[in-house]
Structure 1
Amino acid sequence: MNFRNISSWCIRNPVPPIVLFIGLMLAGFMAFHSMTVNNQPDIDFPGALVIVNQPGAAPSEMQTQVTQKVEAAIRGVNGIDEIDSSIREGYSQTFVQFQIGTPIDRAVNDLRDAMAQIRGSLPDGILEPQVQRVDISGEPISFIAAETTDMSLEELSWYIDNDVARRLRALNGVAAVAREGGVDREINVTLDPTALQAQGITAAQVSAQLRQVNTNATGGRAEIAGSEQSVRVVGNARTSYDLSQTMISVGANRSVRLADVARVQDSYSEQRTYAKLHGKQVISFNVQRAKGKSDLEVYNEVWAELHKIEKGDLRIRFSEISNTVDYTKSQYKSSMEALFEGAILAVVVVYLFLRDGRATAISGLAIPLSAIPTFWFMSLLGINLNEISAIMPLTTQVDCDRKSGTGRC
Structure 2
Amino acid sequence: LIPMMASLQGRSPLAFRDEPPKAPKPLPRNVLLRVPVRILRAVGEGLFQILPRLIVVVVGFVAKLFNWTIGAALRWIGRRVVGTYDRSARLYHRMLPGAMNRPWLVLGTAALAFAISIAIIPSLGMDLIPSLAQGRFETTIKLPPGTPLAETDALVTQIERQHARDPNIASIYGVAGTGTRLDATPTESGENIARLLVTLKPGSGDREEAAAMNALRATLATRSDAEVKFARPALFSFSTPLEIEIRGYDLDALTTAGKKLGTLLAESDRFADIKSTVEDGYPEVQIRFDQDRAAALGLTTRQISDAVVTKVRGEVATRYNFRDRKIDVLARVRESDRASVEDIRNLIVNPGADRPIRLSAVAEVTASEGPSEIHRVDQERVAIISANLRHGDLGSAVSEVRSILARTPLAAGVSVHIGGQGEEMDASTRSMLFAFGLAIFLVYLVMASQFESLVHPFVIMFSIPLALVGAVLALKLTGTPISVVVFIGLIMLAGIVVKNAIVLIDRVNQLREEGHAKREAIILAAESRLRPIAMTTLATLLGFLPLAIGLGEGSEVRSPMAITVIGGLAVSTLLTLVVIPIVYELV
1:139 aligns with 2:228: no
What is the distance in 2 between the residues matched to 1:351 and 1:299?
42
1:338 aligns with 2:435: yes
Instruction: Give the match for residue 10 of structure 2.
Output: none
> Aligned to 1:94, which of 197, 217, 223?
197
Alpha-carbon displacement from aligned partner over 1:70-127 (angstroms, at most 9, x marks no partner)? 65764544344565545523424232334334552795399669989xx9xxxxxx99
What is the distance in 2 between the residues matched to 1:42 and 1:3?
41
Q: Which has the higher contact order (CA 8 A, sep 6+)?
A: 1
Instruction: Give the match for residue 370 of structure 1.
Output: 467
What is the distance in 2 between the residues matched to 1:6 and 1:101?
47
Alpha-carbon displacement from aligned partner over 1:143-197 (angstroms, at most 9, x marks no partner)? 4135465xx75x8635632x333345557965565321442699xxxxxxxxxxx
Q: Check 1:341–1:274 CA distance in 2 against 1; reply closer, same or farther (3 A cut).
A: closer
Report the CA distance between 1:19 and its aligned residue. Answer: 6.8
Instruction: Give the match for residue 56 of structure 1.
Output: 148
Report the CA distance between 1:369 and its aligned residue. Answer: 1.4
Question: Number of aligned pairs?
Answer: 311
Report the CA distance between 1:10 and its aligned residue. Answer: 3.6
AA paired with 1:292? G
Matched-pair contact (CA < 8 Å) for 1:28–1:376:
yes
Instruction: Give the match for residue 39 of structure 1.
Output: 128
AA paired with 1:160? G
Matched-pair contact (CA < 8 Å) for 2:168–2:201:
yes
Matched-pair contact (CA < 8 Å) for 2:243–2:419:
yes
Structure 2 length as normaliser, TM-score? 0.42
Q: Equivalent residue of 2:246, what SS? A: strand
1:26 aligns with 2:115: yes
Q: Which has the higher strand share?
A: 1
Alignment of 1:189-268 (within 5 A): none
What is the distance in 1 between the residues matched to 2:403 and 2:214?
41
Structure 1 length as normaliser, TM-score? 0.56
Matched-pair contact (CA < 8 Å) for 1:141–1:288:
yes
What is the distance in 1 between the residues matched to 2:281 and 2:274?
15
Matched-pair contact (CA < 8 Å) for 1:52–1:92:
yes
> Aligned to 1:178, which of 275, 278, 299?
275
Instruction: Give the match for residue 258 of structure 2.
Output: 160
Q: Check 1:69–1:330 CA distance in 2 against 1; reply closer, same or farther (3 A cut).
A: closer
Deviates more, 1:138-147 or 1:100-109: 100-109
C-alpha RMSD of the superposition: 4.9
Instruction: Give the match for residue 263 of structure 1.
Output: none
1:325 aligns with 2:417: no
Q: Check 1:275–1:182 CA distance in 2 against 1; reply closer, same or farther (3 A cut).
A: farther
Report the CA distance between 1:317 and its aligned residue. Answer: 1.6
Matched-pair contact (CA < 8 Å) for 1:37–1:386:
yes
What is the distance in 2 between the residues matched to 1:169 and 1:268?
29
Q: Check 1:114–1:42 CA distance in 2 against 1; reply closer, same or farther (3 A cut).
A: closer
Alpha-carbon displacement from aligned partner over 1:121-146 (angstroms, at most 9, x marks no partner)? xxxxx999999976899924334135
What is the distance in 1 between the residues matched to 2:378 and 2:475?
45
Q: Equivalent residue of 1:384, what SS? A: coil
Q: Check 1:325–1:354 CA distance in 2 against 1; reply closer, same or farther (3 A cut).
A: same
Alpha-carbon displacement from aligned partner over 1:277-322 (angstroms, at most 9, x marks no partner)? 5767664433556632443x65466456547665x853x4235495
Instruction: Give the match for residue 348 of structure 2.
Output: none
What is the distance in 1 between the residues matched to 2:375 and 2:282?
18
Matched-pair contact (CA < 8 Å) for 2:258–2:278:
no
Matched-pair contact (CA < 8 Å) for 2:246–2:258:
no
Matched-pair contact (CA < 8 Å) for 1:141–1:287:
yes
Q: Check 1:165–1:132 CA distance in 2 against 1; reply closer, same or farther (3 A cut).
A: closer
Q: Equivalent residue of 1:330, what SS? A: helix
Matched-pair contact (CA < 8 Å) for 1:139–1:289:
no
Deviates more, 1:281-290 or 1:396-405: 281-290
Instruction: Give the match for residue 285 of structure 1.
Output: 385
Report the CA distance between 1:389 and its aligned residue. Answer: 0.9
Alpha-carbon displacement from aligned partner over 1:247-279 (angstroms, at most 9, x marks no partner)? xxxxxxxxxxxxxxxxxxxx9856444434576
AA paired with 1:12? P
What is the distance in 2 between the residues matched to 1:110 and 1:323?
23
Q: Check 1:373–1:12 CA distance in 2 against 1; reply closer, same or farther (3 A cut).
A: same
Q: Check 1:130–1:330 CA distance in 2 against 1; reply closer, same or farther (3 A cut).
A: closer
Deviates more, 1:272-281 or 1:91-100: 272-281
Instruction: Give the match for residue 215 of structure 1.
Output: none
What is the distance in 2 between the residues matched to 1:27 and 1:285?
37
1:387 aligns with 2:484: yes
Q: Check 1:29–1:159 CA distance in 2 against 1; reply closer, same or farther (3 A cut).
A: closer
Q: Equivalent residue of 1:145, what SS? A: strand
* Structure 2, unaligned runs of 5 or more: 1-85, 179-190, 284-366, 515-520, 526-587
Matched-pair contact (CA < 8 Å) for 1:138–1:289:
no
Q: Check 1:42–1:304 CA distance in 2 against 1; reply closer, same or farther (3 A cut).
A: same
Report the CA distance between 1:381 and its aligned residue. Answer: 1.6
Matched-pair contact (CA < 8 Å) for 2:138–2:232:
no
Report the CA distance between 1:28 and its aligned residue. Answer: 1.5
